[in-house]
Amino acid sequence: MICPCGRSRFHWLRRFCALICAVVGCCALPPTRAQSPDFDKPLQSIDEEITAFAFAPDGRIVYSVRHNLKTRLYDLQRDDIWLQETTGKRRRILLGEKFSRGNTPFSYTVNSFRWSPNGRLLLAQLFTTKVIDDSGKTEDSPMTLVLEDNGKEVRINGRDSLISGSTNAFWLLDNKTIVYLTEAVKPRALYSLQYTNIATGPAGPAFEGRTFLGLDTIPGTNAAIAVEQDSSLSGPPRLQHLDLLAQIDIELATLVSYEGGISVSPSGKKVAFFLDKEVLEVRDLTPPERVTRIRVGLGVFHWAPDESRILLKRAVEKKTADVVWIDLPPLFVPTPPDRSVSVTQPAPQPILHGLGFRDVAISPDGRFLGVIATGNRSLLIYPLADR
């Protein structure tokens, strides 16, 4: 992985924000929700080249920092992992330079983090590249690194702390069982579900023989909402409720299409996902017949704490875009049931002066917004009032 050019501090953003305000004024924002003065200055910033971050349930922040190193033959990247305490104290819990596997050149970047329910364990989603022969040929693969919050590697069944070929891994409520996706139909077309336990090791497939396009967990439960697709890619996708312990599924709805981005609301009562590259569908889970569709454009979104709207970064993961609030229209049951659902086009409400950011997250308690800046990739934390 090629080393990036030098970094600059984030003072340019404040000057640029001031210039925008001076030129266009506050009237450039929608009159219904003016730009909050709380967004003029971050509560805190971490001035490093951040590759990923996540809020813990108790307010701590785990984040990864790009770490490039050179060997005689290769330029490698092995991100460091840091933890910021609620007091603001920061400590590195993993030094990437010392993290390797075998004698072959090994490079990785951290794509995302997932905290355990008790806030003591971490799953770090890695994108890895390793050299596989003397010609220098490389192989890319996803892996999940299991860590304690002090940086100690959790060796599954006493063996390795890496789960090879895994993606979108998450914890069950026992803080011991990990469920993850593995590629079933290449390239990244369909996935199967697998279990492993940090004490006893791999436990085999979940919902054996079934394949899925994506899923998201229901907060505070051992269940998930998934989009299932036949392995032959025939027939429509189906929305399923999965009990991950009992391995019982309930079909909720047949979907017209599925593009990605499935996300369950904080209360576990709604789910949203993209039907295509333009339209987001929102469904009630009790009952799933209640639905609405809005034209917002494909991106990465997060639910507001009260679930009345979503915060949308208007680009796919790890791509830079502006951040906007989108109000959600009321859900309804189409009459008759097979009637097509009309698509509304709400007015986006920009925040952060319309500047672009690479990544966005809302803290579990809904009080804070974290963003990774474009350019130097600093992590900025703002207060988030649901107004």
Residue 333's Cβ-side half-sphere holds a number of Cα atoms within 13 Å equal to: 8
Identify the pLDDT of residue 338.
Answer: 63
Identify the pLDDT of residue 16.
Answer: 40
Q: Which runs of consecutive H residues, i.e. helices, occur in the chain?
A: 11-24
- Tell me, what amino acid is at 113? F
Identify the pLDDT of residue 22.
Answer: 38
The pair of three-digit structure tokens given for residue 41, joined into one six-digit string: 């200055």
Identify the pLDDT of residue 103.
Answer: 81
Beta carbons of 258 and 237 less than 8 angstroms apart? yes
Identify the pLDDT of residue 337.
Answer: 63
What are φ and ψ of residue 19, in 5° steps? -65, -40
Nearest to 279 by CA among 265, 258, 263: 258
Please identify which residue in the block is written with the tokens 């967990």: 217
Q: Say what the alpha-carbon torsion angle 15, 384, 284, 55 is, to the nearest 10 degrees.
A: 100
Q: DSSP for 290-348?
A: -EEEEE--S-EEEE-TTSSEEEEESSSTTS-EEEEEEEPPPPB--SSTTSPPPEE-PPP
Whole-prediction pTM value? 0.87
Distance, in Å, from the CA atom of 97 to the CA atom of 99, rounded to the nearest integer, reads 6
Distance, in Å, from the CA atom of 225 to the CA atom of 223, rounded to the nearest integer, reads 7
Q: DSSP for 206-219?
A: ESTT--EEEEEEPT
Distance, in Å, from the CA atom of 225 to the CA atom of 94, rounded to the nearest integer, reads 33
The pair of three-digit structure tokens given for residue 25, joined into one six-digit string: 């004024």
Tens place of pLDDT per residue across the chain (387 aa): 433 333 333 344 444 444 433 333 333 333 334 444 456 789 999 999 999 999 999 999 999 999 999 988 889 999 999 999 999 999 999 999 999 887 888 899 999 999 999 999 999 999 999 988 878 788 999 999 999 999 999 999 999 999 999 999 999 999 999 999 999 998 888 999 999 999 999 999 999 999 999 999 999 999 999 999 999 888 899 999 999 999 999 999 999 999 999 999 999 999 999 999 999 999 999 999 999 999 999 999 999 999 999 999 999 998 999 999 999 999 999 887 667 899 999 999 999 999 999 999 999 999 999 999 998 899 999 998 644
- Please list the residues that pair with 241 across neighbouring strands: 225, 250
Please identify which residue in the block is written with the tokens 């789910």: 271
- Tell me the C-alpha to C-alpha distance, in Å, between residue 173 and each of 131, 170, 178, 345, 364: 37, 10, 10, 38, 16
Helix (H) or strand (E) holding 263: strand 260-264
